[in-house]
Amino acid sequence: MALVVPQIESRSFDEIIAETLARIPVHNPEYTNYQNNSDPGVTILQLFAFMVENLEYICNQVPDQNRLKFLSLLDIPMQPAQAATGVVTLANERGPLQTITLPSGLLLLAGSTGFVTGTGLDALPIEGQIYYRSALSDTEQQNASQLYSQLYGTFVDANSTLEFYKTVPFIPPVSSSSLTVVDLGDGSIVDGSLWLALLARQADAQVTSAVLDEIAGRTLTLGIMPSDDETERTLVPAQPASAQAPVSLIYEVATGAMDGDQPRYLRLDSQADDNPLENLTLVQLNLPGRGSIGNWTLGPLEQGVGDFPPLLEDDAVSARLITWIRIRLPQSPGSAQGAALKARFNWLGINSARVTQQIQVPAELVGTGTGEPDQIFTLANTPVLIATLQVTVDGVPWKQVDDLLAAPSEVFAGSTAGVSNAFVYTADSASGQIRFGTGLQGARAPNGSVILASYAYGGGVSGNVGIGAIRSSPQLPAGFTVSNPLPTQGGTDGESLDQAEMRIPLYLQHKDRAVSAADFTDIVESVPGINLGRVEVIPLLLPDSGVTVPGVVTLLVIPTDPNHPEGPVPDTYFLKAVCDYVEPRRLLTTEVHVCGPNYVDLSVSVGFDALPGRDIALVRNAIQSIIRDYLSPLTGGPDGTGWPLEKSVTDRELLARAARGDGLSDINDVWIWDGSGTRITSLPIHNIDLPRLTRVGANQGDPEDLTATPPPPAKTRLPVPVLPLSC
């Protein structure tokens, strides 16, 4: 519930004057001309009524600063707008053949939404393409073995067998709904490695040696995005999440030299800013000097065999090849450690940089001081990233504080580094307002003083853009292009004052500590940066096995996803945001599992009769909408808050729900099928299961069999002209 502000007085001017005039006959019967608005006595009463109404209005207004101070005393700050983050690749497609070092803070644009790079990098004048050795099917492996065994028999010793493969390029994703996934540990890649081919640009195909001279000794920035299909994260008892040690991948560059009959690779010095197996990571690879980078000149039977780089079938690509970088796990997938590591990736790319949704304003003329108390100025752009705001008055920097009431007087204040301690101001992110003091609490901006501000603004859901939306920059050198190979995420709108006040009762209840199930619910609903649709707290349940275990809490979280309303699933970013927020607020002895639901597929078909004169198409659509809404994980169920846990889906219940549709004469029957296509009357729901409607049909008459195979299309007659014979 919101904080209820008491009304001291609520009467209007008309009510006050009417009540006053009604008292005249009782208290002053000699005054008989009070019904005349022109009477001087009535005019005086109207003046006082006007003044009372204004006093009532002032008394009933609780200033926002007082409300903010109340929140501050409770240690419940308003949650500011969150800026979206992501990654971009900067390509020197048509610029000069040279490595250009780009600084951080470059302005990038996705339409009207601005981003800035958070990291600098060496933009190498090359292209990068990831390849992997994909295992063949059993039939393909057998056919290849029969064909090539004699050719490659000399490569086989007593402890090895031939394992044939095909070289597959790892294509960057084009849509967030269909991300390609490669897995280094599931056996689909024969050598458990990814191979990064460093290629000269098309224009430099004939000068590969010059390209190698230009990139040698430079730093290659490699972006890595692990697969976001993670369905669960666990907070282990008595172990903070930060104690989980990250795993470093191994990066090795081809040297062109041999150790006996084996190719020699040089392990690169790498510096990663995160764990590449769990989160979006930028890895800085320090390339060695010219003499330690190369490639091998091999015969037809040696190319792509063993530890040599994979075979490239495209001669045009091979002609542009500079060298290879092999990326692998610390242990091979066959070892005990490698088998335990999960290494699934959605994207890898060179010349990468992190970006944050914001636009920098280097200098803005805020206004001119008047010397009056409580001067307020408004910045031109919002929401303001308060941490970046710097204000100067006549060239003197003033300090940002949380509360002007605690600031010293401008007369008796001391100084720090020659600047008065009273030179302070407050700022609000959402409105962009800057407030100066009264003189008694904080200094006033002097009359005629020039007030300047430098700051960055950004944040909000507008920063969550799709793949390829960031495509321009006024600050990149000529010939450079920019693009985001992954969607940006994490942008949320800021919290209003009313929303912050609504959290007061919840905060006073749980004190920002997750102990009871209600505490967990309130805390998860307060997680910033995510679009939470529903949370269910299940005590004592292990989500994987359904076993009851003391000290375990399962948080079932479901995002709001308009693209997949029938079965929204939290991604890695969503799960990580919840874990990071819950971690410092849980009891250290509690084991917390954060996961999405396990969806059980379901198909529904309804047979109906419509009332005479009603549009059958509209009736059909209404029935389908009713079934979709009722089975929704967010808005379904009897109470409209999402399909309940542990509640089975029955055909009779769906029949009763469908019968509420407008324009119906009768519901003939409802048929349902499970994910395997088996006709059932009830779909059991257990533990963290929820139904997912994969198909819904509504048919005039009997229900349609949704599993029936459609008949083959009838052959059509195709007219064909015949040219006349001529001699």
Q: Which amino acid is at 92?
A: N
Model confidence over 580-610: pLDDT tens digits?
899 999 998 899 999 999 999 999 999 999 9
Q: Which of 308, 332, 350 is the last residue of a domain?
A: 350
Tell me how far apart the alpha carbons of residues 194 and 394 are, in angstroms, rounded to a whole number: 58
Give the tens place of pLDDT for each residue, 480-498. 999 999 999 888 887 777 7
C-alpha 464/C-alpha 214 separation (Å) is 36
Q: Please tell me whether residues 209 and 304 are part of one structural domain.
A: yes
Residue 261 lies in a domain: yes
* Residue of 517, 520, 521, 522 whose CA lies nearest to 505: 522
Token digits for 621?
A: 């659509």
Distance CA 97, CA 205 (A): 12
pLDDT of residue 244 exceeding 70:
no
Q: What is the pLDDT of residue 142?
A: 81
Domain boundary among 330, 350, 370: 350
Query: Could you tell me if residue 116 is inside a domain?
Result: no
Total structural domains in the chain?
5
Residues 257 and 364 in one domain: no
Query: What is the pTM (predicted TM-score) of this model?
Result: 0.74
Residues 676 and 618 in one domain: yes
Residue 491 lies in a domain: no
Query: 339 and 209, same structural domain?
Result: yes
Rounded to an integer, the average pLDDT of 127-147 is 87
Q: What is the pLDDT of residue 249?
A: 92
More confident residue, 631 or 260: 631
Residue 71 within any structural domain of the chain: no
The verdict on residue 35 lying in a domain is yes
User: Does residue 367 fall inside a structural domain?
Assistant: yes
Q: Is 580 inside a domain boundary?
A: yes
Structural contact between residues 149 and 181, judged by C-beta atoms closer than 8 angstroms:
no
- Cα within 13 Å of Cα(428), Cβ side: 19
Same domain, 371 and 346: no
Residues 310, 186: one domain? yes
pLDDT attached to residue 147: 73
pLDDT per residue over 333-348, tens digit each? 444 444 457 788 999 9
Verify that 560 and 635 share a domain, yes or no: no
Residue range of the domain that includes 386: 359-457
Res 242: pLDDT: 45
Same domain, 338 and 302: yes
DSSP bridge partners of 535: 557
Q: Is residue 195 part of a domain?
A: yes
Same domain, yes or no: 577 and 649: no
Length of the chain: 727
- Tell me phi and psi for residue 365, to 5 degrees: -75, 105
* Under 8 Å between Cβ of 410 and 442: yes
Assign residue 554 the CATH number of its domain.
3.30.300
Q: How far apart are CA 294 and CA 114, in angstroms?
A: 40
**Are 319 and 384 part of one and the same domain?**
no
Looking at the fold, whether 320 and 220 belong to one and the same domain comes out as yes
- What pLDDT is attached to residue 219? 96
What does the alpha-carbon distance between residue 316 and residue 296 come to, in Å, rounded to a whole number? 17
Let me know whether 192 and 323 are in one domain.
yes
